[in-house]
Amino acid sequence: MAASIRKTFSLLSSGSFRLLRTHSERQFHLAAVRTMPAHDAAFEQAKERLKTLSEDPGNQVKLKMYGLFKQATVGKCNAPKPGMMDLVGKAKWQSWNELGSMSQDDAQKAYINVVESLVAEEQGSSSAEASGDGGKYKQIKVTREGKVFKILLNRPTKKNAINYEMYREWIDALNEASQDKSVSIAVVTGAGDYYCSGNDLANFANIKPSDIGKMALDAREILREFVGTFIDFPKPLIGLINGPAVGVSVTTLGLFDAVYASDRATFHTPFTVLGQSPEGCSSYVFPKLMGSAKANEVLLFNKKLTAQEAKERNLITNIIPENSFQKESDAMMQGYSKLPPKSMTTSKNLIREVEKKKLHEVNEKECDLLVERWQSDECMNAIMAFFTRKSNL
């Protein structure tokens, strides 16, 4: 069963726009566009603009576009529903069938709008990346403001979801801050509306069934190193949570020295929804911060915390109103950075040293369990469900 799920997941996720998988489907796509009247030229132009995208927009968007294209060129869904085991076919059929009696003209317009939004989003993302740290970092932006080393998660159009490149850059930035003698404290915050939406599930895409095991082991190593960098970071590390936080961006907060959140921030660790398990040493740190029952509600039962609830459970230090968040937090960080740096560093290391060995042991165990979870039927089914759920775009 696991092999069939992995094969199906790979078929859905592999390549850009491969939902039009067969030769006959592609020929139909081209023929339909070629036979459209002149007044539908915008639809043809949208199809051409689609080819200019360099980033895969994700399976939710691709499914939506598949359904809109079929509705625009054929009309109301007239195909039989695929069988139970044809998960890809069923997802495509559902995307088309859900459009009901939408007219072909309206479907064309919706298709064009999706393409235009994707192009605009990618252009905006490129502009954001161009403002990075002299080209050294692409997924984050690093700045020094006095003695403050600031790491800005810089994929705002992706809600700052963490891909493999961002993991590596975040690790490198923390190491750079730890070695820079001019830096007293390091802070992490997010660009745009989100602090971080957790792992980019595209990390799980484009994986052949035969490579699932290697993917799990590779992911284990980068996660182990990522969390280990937080454990070993020698200087005060402060989180400035400007908006919603999800997954590993929440669990690692227990390894920060202080966390300040906007009043619109939320905190969510949907591990069991995705068939996974805790990481970031949260299986050890969260019960200590919150008590076992409250931690279980977050780690086992997927409870999303408001900023106030997170403060009450000791996950964050304090709350700052959204309308003054940046101004107040910047002033606070500058104040902290003027404290005697050696005193802060030696004091932090005294506090952390007591449990550093334990934290590394927990990190190893959590990563080992995730290797098993990532290869399980539960996880594969959960991720498939995530990718094929109805898009609300």
pLDDT of the residue at 348: 97
* pLDDT at residue 23 greater than cutoff 90: no
Beta-carbon count within 10 A of 81 CB: 12
Task: Give the pLDDT band (50/70/90) at residue 32.
Answer: very low
| Domains, the chain, ordered by start | 2-125 (1.20.80.10), 131-383 (3.90.226.10)
Residue 129 or residue 144, greater confidence: 144
pLDDT of the residue at 209: 73
Distances (CA, A) of 301 to 229, 250, 294: 28, 15, 10
Among 256, 259, 307, which residue's Cα sits nearest to residue 285?
256
| Mean pLDDT of the region 383-389 | 69
| Mean pLDDT of the region 178-207 | 88
Q: How far apart are CA 229 and CA 245, in angstroms?
A: 20
* pLDDT at residue 285 greater than cutoff 90: yes
Residue 143 near residue 168, CB atoms below 8 Å? no
Instruction: Write out pLDDT tens, residues 71-106.
Output: 888 999 998 988 655 656 777 888 889 889 889 888
Instruction: Write out pLDDT tens, residues 109-143.
Output: 888 888 887 777 666 555 444 444 557 899 999 99
| Mean pLDDT of the region 364-389 | 85
pLDDT of the residue at 324: 96
Q: What is the pTM of this model?
A: 0.70
Residue 171 near residue 205, CB atoms below 8 Å? no
Q: How far apart are CA 377 and CA 374, in angstroms?
A: 9
Instruction: Work out the angle at residue 393's Cα, subtended by the Cα atoms of residues 39 and 128, and round it to the nearest 5 degrees.
Output: 95
